[in-house]
Chains A and B, each alone.
Chain A
Amino acid sequence: MAEHIRFTRNRREFLTDAFCGFGSIAAADLLLRSEARAATTNPLAPKPPHLQARAKAAVFLFMAGGPSHMETYDPKPLLNQLNGQKRPAAFGEAKYQFLNDASRLLGTKRTFQRYGKSGIEVSDLFPHTAQCVDDMAVIRSVHGDMVVHSAAQYQMFTGRILPGFPSIGSWLLYGLGSESESLPGYVVMPDPKGALEAGQPMYGNGFLPAVYQPTTFRPGDRPVLNLDLPKGVSREDRVKTLNLIKGLDKADMRPGDQELEARLNSYDLAFKMQTEAPEVFDLSKESAKTLEMYGIGEPKTDDYGRRLLLTRRLIEKGVRFVAPISGGGPGVLQWDAHDDIEENHLRMAAQTDKPVAGFLQDLKQRGLLDTTLVVWGGEFGRSPESQGSKGRDHHNLGFSMWMAGGGVKGGTVVGATDEIGLNAIKDPYHLRDVHTTILHQMGLNQDALSFLHQGRRERLTEVRGNVITQIV
């Protein structure tokens, strides 16, 4: 029990955990005691990382539905030559959701160009993001286990193909706490067009205590549920009521009762959140130049731009993990281009390209990119074969993701798929390797970040992953 970190429920447990963690540093006793206090009154208080952390915050730009690697970051000239033919047997087998033996390879209409000093090839879907390529590390050899949305989404967010496991955001909060007292530490910003196949459980805290649960932002400028005072209640009223609650609680409390003190403290935090958070949500004081950078005000990019600008504002205030989701509701409103890869990807890219580029540049100019790990990708890629005449099916054996900031080596490309983009053949990286790398950049060790659940020491990575050393 002792060596794993877990939510501390009371003073004794904390001290047990803490002393096992910090061993014999007797001189730190006093410090520990004060930390013990902080930890028991606010379970989200920041905790030291296991390793030297390169990033303080992480942002997952999740492209729901599965963007095609062949149309984005992984040019495949041979695919165009083989357009309309059957997949040569030499490339091996793949299992798809819909495709069968009759399917034919589909070339791409996208053109690729080299960008930046690194000369990394990026398709014409992302003219803006391409300008940031020297800050990006493109991984062209990611693979996962599942070829259907819900299970693949669970795996992308929780490391498991089943619901019920904590998401990466919950793990990060559990491991590191939150730097912000007035804002939720883990924020999901769904696409207002709707939810994803995997539903709420993909973002959830699973078996971790509810304190590590995500806060799902709603569209608009009042994104957090229950943050507004009820109708007819003024701030002054609320202060009075809060004082009454505290007074009555204290009158019935044994001094030094840490659990009840923690509850009182949670009311202070709630009040702080209520008063300070709306300011963070208010984008109106941002300069016209900044708004333009994110594409705010332009119909296609306005929504994702606003969410990414808000993301930056949250990161500035110490929020640990934000997941702005692109795509939601029916598949056609996600990157799930079964019918028409052209139409779908042009539309989805147009909504996100400029905001993503603006976000990266903005982080950079504010000096935040160094400490913010940005990750881009979907739950899988898409099939080299066509579905229908111009769509692509799901594909999990090899696809692209990228990372930027947070200590990641920009301007690098790692791994490769074969010549038609079917299998990751060079330096393949499983999703668990992506997770391990994210944890590593955040200063967390995949083994130490564990939680004893029903007799098993559960980890995000389940099976050990490897840090993608070429990019860190």
Chain B
Amino acid sequence: MAPRTVEVAPRTIEYDRMRRTSALVVFSLLLVLAPRVPAGSATDSAKLAPLGKYTEAERRHWSFLPRRNPVVPAFTQAADQAWTKNPVDAFVLARMRKETLGHAPRADRRTLLRRVTFDLTGLPPTPAEIASFLNDQSPQAWEKVVERLLASPHYGEHWGKHWLDVVRFAETEGYEYDNFRPDAWRYRDYVIRAFNNDKPFDRFVQEQIAGDEIAPAEEETLIAAGFNRLGPVRRNAGNQLVASSRNEQLTEMTNIVGAGILGVTLGCARCHDHKFDGFRQSDYYRVQAFFAALQPNDLILAPEAEQKAWTAKATPLQVEVGKLQKEIAAATKAGMPTADLMAKLDEAQDRLPAPLPSLFTVKDDPANKAPIHLLPRGDYEHPGDRVGMRVPGVLLPPDAPELPDDLAKPREALAQWLTDPRNPLTARVMVNRIWANHFGRGIVATPNDFGRMGEQPVDPDLLDYLANRFVQEGWSVKQMQRLILLSNTYQQASLPGPAGMEKDPDARYLSRFPRQRLDAEQIRDAMIAVAGRLNEKQGGPGVMVPIEKDLAQAMYKPSQWVPAKDSAEFNRRSVYLLYKRNFELPFMQAFDAPDMAGSCPRRESSTHAPQALELLNGDLANGMAKALAARLAAEAGPDHRKQILLAYELVAGRAPRPAEMQMAMRFLSVDATAEGKAREQFALAMFNLNSFLYVN
């Protein structure tokens, strides 16, 4: 029987206007209350860009409209009522029924535990955890597992990484110098902490956009504001392109607000009006205007004595550098060769003492604020009309004015608007990211694009229901995850039923749990964990692992790659490995780790021969296979059967099937002299199995 149809209020234009007006009220209120700075020197002869007109069709794009309050579908049949344990199930089952699909049976406990452990912590369950779950007969056994994992410090390491993908976090600047950002790791740790502590997402966004304005004396918020500096930065020899570089940084800051927070391709409007969505070029630069006063800020943390000692050491070298820079300038002017001087400069810069620990943050510098102009075709040398601060007009009532230029905390105003409960995008976009990371695919399959070129939501009602709940429950990510993980939807088996493959081939309607390949970090971390070598140390500067000499040679400055002195560091979790923009570790690259040039909304999952070569011949796989083999012998003793059982338990979280046991037994039955090698090869084979690389 079909589910009861759900009546929703017709979406009238008047209704929408009303809702939008309330958004404006918030916005105007901010203006009245906000402290101002004295009017600066922002006299500018360029005329103000028009405020922009938006068609009704542009305004009525689904994701720009206020969220609705969908009624949770109800079911008449007892079986359906029993299965729809929570609202997630009700929406998902109703959607399935539209496709004449039914749900899959519940997955077995071992499968569930492996799934949720990788999902929440990025690591496999241990044999003890498996045993404990299998033996827990209480009706709350699953809830207990979910709570335990949400409370694990590894949770933030894995879910923080999802966010680090979105904000394209790396510890170098990219481009030719690809200089290190020695203090960027503090931001990475901030993100991990925020997820572990379930920092409300609205606060999380506010701190990142405007932490320095909101609480200028707090280390935590200052670190968070480093968000605005995460994009690549171009530095040039003989830098004549200061304006260009500044423009690129403003571009990075603006684009990430669009892609990362609002889930729209605002960046497309940098050079021209957006071709598909209602973003005018003026909207783009009006958002950019919120960042006009922002300057990078490296806030030194060290005590005064240490700073003095550093200065004493650095000053002579800085003098030398300064002298060389002058000489280069003079030589250039006089038409003399500069290569030798440049080499000396490079060398002198290398000798400068490592910078003192500092906060990688930003500050407002209204005195040096340059007015923001439209840049036709993105060309900073030919500025067009002037603009002031305003959020995209398509989300405001017609002719909504700009904010006054002298707002003291411009980014705080932006952050408030972004996280206003009535903002139609922010909550939808974040719950969709959460959903996508659990199910491998979002309700909107394009998490960074909720515009017309993005995919339509599979179920807009579900999305709005979740977004509403997210806001109501204080923007708590963990609460949202409890709702999802405790649903029957999440606990379905991944095997398609007979009709499932035809009608729901990619599991978009969730008529089964979508099988997912582990991502690059999960594969690496799981191999190390299973081998018993994981170094669980948390936080701190990014770790460099040893690489082949030839690979270091592929860096413009091979001397930049200095592996950690303590080899225990090599077995840290992948989120703590140094992410160098111009040099990706081959292992990570093979398994689709993003290049961090731009925001990565979802990982690809490709299959190709170099992955097999990594897992068969690579140093990491072979090193960890040796360690795993040793662990099997040590913990299971000489009995091959026990070794195989343990191997499957560790690597696949399950017992081997009889056929698997038989094959493995045959493989291990060799002369005593060859036994060690056979065990290592067996361990290596385990890392190559689909049962390891996929989560069911």
Contact = CB atoms under 8 A, between A and B. Distances in A.
Contacts of B607: 43, 211, 259, 262-263, 266
A232 to B, nearest CB: 7
Nearest to B623: A230
A210 B664 contact: no
A339 B688 contact: no
Given A97-B240, A248-B660, A201 B553 contact: no
Nearest to A329: B556
Interface string B53-64: 000000000000
Interface range on chain B: under 10, 10 to 19, 20 to 34, or 35 or more?
35 or more
B590 to A, nearest CB: 6
A339 B337 contact: yes
A162 B597 contact: yes
Interface string B449-478: 101111000000000000000000000000
A388 B685 contact: no
A283 interface: no
Contacts of A389: 335-337
Interface string B534-563: 000000000000001011011110100000
A200 B583 contact: yes
Contacts of B558: 194
Contacts of A149: 176
Nearest to A41: B607
A251 interface: yes
A425 interface: no
A32 interface: no
B663 A244 contact: yes
A466 interface: no
A249 B685 CA distance: 10
A200 B689 contact: no
Interface in A374-395: 386-391
Interface stretch (A98-106, A296-304, A412-420): A98-106
User: A interface, by DSSP: helix, strand, loop or mixed?
Assistant: loop
Contact of B592 (A210, A237, A252): A210
Interface stretch (A219-227, A312-320, A352-360, A442-450): A219-227
Interface in B500-521: 505-506
Interface in B575-607: 581-584, 586, 589-592, 595, 597-599, 601, 604-607
A332 B339 contact: yes
B553 A194 contact: yes
Nearest to B265: A455
B176 A201 contact: no
B187 interface: no
Given A226-B617, A241-B684, A266 B657 contact: no
Contacts of A206: 595, 597
Contacts of B139: none
Contacts, number: 244
B660 A391 contact: no
Interface in A1-33: 7, 9-13
Contacts of A66: none
A44 B265 contact: no
A384 to B, nearest CB: 14
Contacts of B613: 225-227, 270, 273-274
Given A12-B506, A339-B338, A209 B582 contact: no
Contacts of B664: 244, 248
Interface stretch (B210-218, B231-239, B525-533): B231-239
Contacts of B451: 455
B582 A200 contact: yes
A455 B446 contact: yes
A163 B176 CA distance: 10
B564 to A, nearest CB: 22
Nearest to A15: B505
A163 B268 contact: no
B595 A201 contact: yes
Contacts of B604: 209-210
A211 B612 CA distance: 12
Contact of B555 (A13, A162, A199, A332): A199
Contact of A197 (B556, B584, B685): B556
A270 B612 CA distance: 6
A102 B446 contact: no
A238 to B, nearest CB: 7
Contact of A12 (B505, B584, B618): B505
25 contacts: A7-B606, A43-B608, A98-B238, A150-B176, A162-B232, A163-B174, A184-B610, A190-B554, A198-B175, A200-B583, A210-B592, A213-B590, A241-B681, A248-B660, A259-B607, A266-B607, A266-B609, A330-B343, A452-B453, A454-B446, A454-B601, A455-B452, A455-B453, A455-B454, A456-B268
